[in-house]
A = this chain, B = another copy of it.
Amino acid sequence: MPSRDLSAFFRPASIAVIGASADPSHIRGRILTQLVKSGYPGRIIPVHPRGGEMLGLPVSPSIGAVGAPVDLALIAIPADAVAGVLEECSAAGVRAAYIFSSGFAEEGGDKRALQQQISAIAERTQMLIAGPNAVGFMNVNLPLVASFTPAVDFAELPRLRAAPALRRIAVVSQSGGLAFAFFNRGIKRRLPFSYVVNTGNEAALDLVDIGEFLVSDEQTGVLLLFIEQIRRGPAFVALAERALRLGKPLIVAKIGRSGAARRAAVSHTASMTGSDTAYEAVFRRYGVIRGEDQDDMLDIAAAAALAPEPLGRRIGVVTISGGVGGWLADTLETQGLSVPEFSPALQAQLRTFLPSFAATGNPIDITGQAIGTDYRLRSIETLEASDEIDAIVVGNSLAADSRLPLEKAALGEIAARRRKPILFYSYPLPSAEAQRDLEEVGIPLYTGIRGVARALSLLAERNDARAAQSRSTASVQSASAARGAAASLLDRAGATLTEAESLAVLQTYGVPVPRHRLVDSAAAAVEAARTIGFPVALKVQSPEIPHKSDVGALALNLRSEAAIVEAYDTVLAHARRAVPTARITGVLVQAMAAPGLELILGISHDQTFGPMLLLGRGGVDAEALGDRAMTPLPLDTAAAERLVDQFDRGRFLSAHRNRRARDRRALVGLMLALAQIAQDFAGRLMEIDLNPVILGAEGEGAMAVDALMVQRTEGAKE
């Protein structure tokens, strides 16, 4: 899906400011004055009915009277007047409009209608419209500041444009308050930015539109998104996939985990959104990094912008303090990284220039005595060249580091050829000089060890997602025979399929299920059990009784004909007592599955992202254990493998003491088959629940022992 061309916004040749004022004590006045102050190189046309001149610029009395093409209109007028002005803009051929004015959906009530007018105009005229109720945006490199925010330090802009960076950061925020707050904090720590955009109420263009444009933008290599709500789930997924493929990290905040945040969102935007678990699953699948607060996101962005991607999790640590080295090592390992002991060969290499009192095992502790030596620099050089580690963390005291200016050129050379991240951490707050020196050589500087560890860990995890993406098969295989057979099964079934019907659908896709037969008498049950083999289960089949065990409508482990005869009547009686009106389609006689690990596999539909595959533990404590993992469809082998990894983390599926490893391959095969069914009947099969799936040891396979499917039926076939 090609992104919309938003160059009229971000690189306009001319800008009209509608509702212009030259008085910087008013919001409107700040828009014009800051636009001028930013050094925007195009034409600026203040528009105001009074005409005259503002800041030396001739004022046009209306947009229609400009008499020249206008790329972008910045609109800051009362809410009531906005729709009319947009019509005028459209008539005058204006290509894009950014509406600052508030007093729309955020106030609720009949103000919503005013916002709907804007949406309608956008759709009808195809003019690009952002806002309303928005704080503004900036293009650092044009330059262009279109905002009333007081958070832009204009003196910093030239430096910001000049500093080297592997990738520049674009901020896109649905929160007006936070958009420039990210930028403001980021430039204080000398991070490189390309754009800052607040999307406001998103009457027309939304965060995904802006993201799509920026991910294709050459100047931008990292996207930092503050998300209250994704309005178009599949488009967001496409954006995330694209960003992953292009190696442009998405670092996001997404609010709405808590009941309180949902209350706030409803009162704020009057809209609900998909479950946070589904967002989390989508983020994980497509390598989107979720940050915890502003500084956390900037910590991650710093490494993303300034360092090569970490291709693994093995970290080499260089420090001048044993305490700092140990704390770094602890924190790196807590965040899922490793600080492996160096090989004897590598340690011998370090010993050629390090003194006897230095530790060389990893962390390398050159100790405080080494201040004034080149031990730090040579240690970095050595680790940079080694294959034993994937990233380097240097724990320094940069409050007054007299070596840094001397080593700057050499560090710059290392940085220029580095293949792995080199991150500096200073345990005292660093001097301004040290900050500047490291900015100039493009090495990210941290003041917190947690930030160092989070950045490396999350970027390594993103790299895993990227590797899975590159392994992913081109497209889902068609299975037209299975699909046709399943379709006719579904045609014959009602809204809620019985277990027998659900098992039949699974079988058409090759999913192993226990031997079974549907019977309608105790005698037939006995006969079936003889064929199937003892022990067996009896399960009453009825669309009205989807959860048989809750009402005693099943009996397990029946080992004799007598037991079957007795149980047959019992389970039917239980079923009839529980749901007297239930339509019973028979009793399923089913072989008992061999013992194995009980799992749950299912498909559910998320409001934002559509069908999701769920993998969980089964059995009594399943809910209490809370082991669940979820991923959006479509699924391929690589994604299924990653989901299993995430679910398991080496606990249940791998060999352990006397226990054999589980048949992971069979599990992945079953997941793929399930995902295939869900996709083949997307929009029709709304819910699939395999509970339990019994997973055997390696080579023993996986089996769906019970299944429940719910389909959307047109004209209710009962």
For residue A292, which residues in chain B have a CB less than 8 angstroms away from its CB? 331, 450
Question: Does A333 reach chain B (CB closer than 8 Å)?
Answer: yes
The answer to whether A329 and B260 touch across the interface, beta carbons within 8 angstroms, is yes
Smallest CB separation, A22 vs chain B (Å): 21
Contact of A330 among B188, B258, B324 (CB under 8 A): B258
Question: Does A263 reach chain B (CB closer than 8 Å)?
Answer: yes
Q: How far is the CA of A205 from the CA of B704 in the complex (A)?
A: 66
A333 nearest CB neighbor, chain B only: B258
The answer to whether A429 and B184 touch across the interface, beta carbons within 8 angstroms, is yes
For residue A226, which residues in chain B have a CB less than 8 angstroms away from its CB? 323
- A253-294 contact mask (Cβ, 8 Å, vs B): 1 or 0: 101111111011101110000000000000000000000111
Q: How far is the CA of A311 from the CA of B488 in the complex (A)?
A: 63
- A474-518 contact mask (Cβ, 8 Å, vs B): 1 or 0: 000000000000000000000000000000000000000000000
The answer to whether A260 and B341 touch across the interface, beta carbons within 8 angstroms, is yes
The answer to whether A268 and B178 touch across the interface, beta carbons within 8 angstroms, is no
Q: How far is the CA of A362 from the CA of B447 in the complex (A)?
A: 34
A449 nearest CB neighbor, chain B only: B293
Smallest CB separation, A29 vs chain B (Å): 16
The answer to whether B450 and A296 touch across the interface, beta carbons within 8 angstroms, is yes
Smallest CB separation, A510 vs chain B (Å): 30
For residue A361, which residues in chain B have a CB less than 8 angstroms away from its CB? 260, 263-264, 267
Question: Does A365 reach chain B (CB closer than 8 Å)?
Answer: yes
Q: How far is the CA of A121 from the CA of B268 in the complex (A)?
A: 70
The answer to whether B656 and A174 touch across the interface, beta carbons within 8 angstroms, is no
- A179-199 contact mask (Cβ, 8 Å, vs B): 1 or 0: 011001100100000000000
With A108-B357, A321-B177 known as contacts, the answer to whether A150 contacts B327 (CB < 8 A) is no
User: Which of A380-388, A463-471, A603-611, A618-626 is the interface stretch?
Assistant: A618-626
State the interface size on chain A (CB cutoff 8 A).
89
With A265-B322, A321-B175 known as contacts, the answer to whether A330 contacts B256 (CB < 8 A) is yes
Question: Does A334 reach chain B (CB closer than 8 Å)?
Answer: yes
Smallest CB separation, A627 vs chain B (Å): 9
The answer to whether B264 and A185 touch across the interface, beta carbons within 8 angstroms, is no
A188 nearest CB neighbor, chain B only: B429
Smallest CB separation, A19 vs chain B (Å): 18
- A236-268 contact mask (Cβ, 8 Å, vs B): 1 or 0: 000000000000000001011111110111011
For residue A180, which residues in chain B have a CB less than 8 angstroms away from its CB? 428
Sample of 14 A–B contacts (CB below 8 Å): A173-B323, A175-B323, A176-B323, A176-B368, A178-B324, A180-B428, A255-B323, A256-B330, A260-B339, A261-B326, A263-B361, A263-B363, A267-B361, A620-B659
Chain A residues in contact with chain B, CB under 8 A?
Answer: 102, 106-108, 150-151, 173-178, 180-181, 184-185, 188, 226, 228, 253, 255-261, 263-265, 267-269, 292-296, 317, 320-327, 329-334, 339-341, 357, 359, 361-363, 365, 367-369, 397, 399-400, 427-429, 447-451, 550, 620-621, 623-626, 651-652, 656-659
Q: 18 new A-B pairs (CB below 8 Å) besides A177-B323, A228-B322, A259-B333?
A: A173-B323, A255-B330, A256-B330, A258-B333, A258-B339, A260-B329, A260-B340, A260-B341, A263-B359, A263-B363, A264-B329, A264-B361, A264-B363, A267-B359, A267-B365, A268-B359, A269-B322, A625-B625
The 5 A-B pairs with the shortest beta carbon distances in the complex, nearest first, are A175-B323, A260-B329, A260-B339, A177-B321, A268-B322
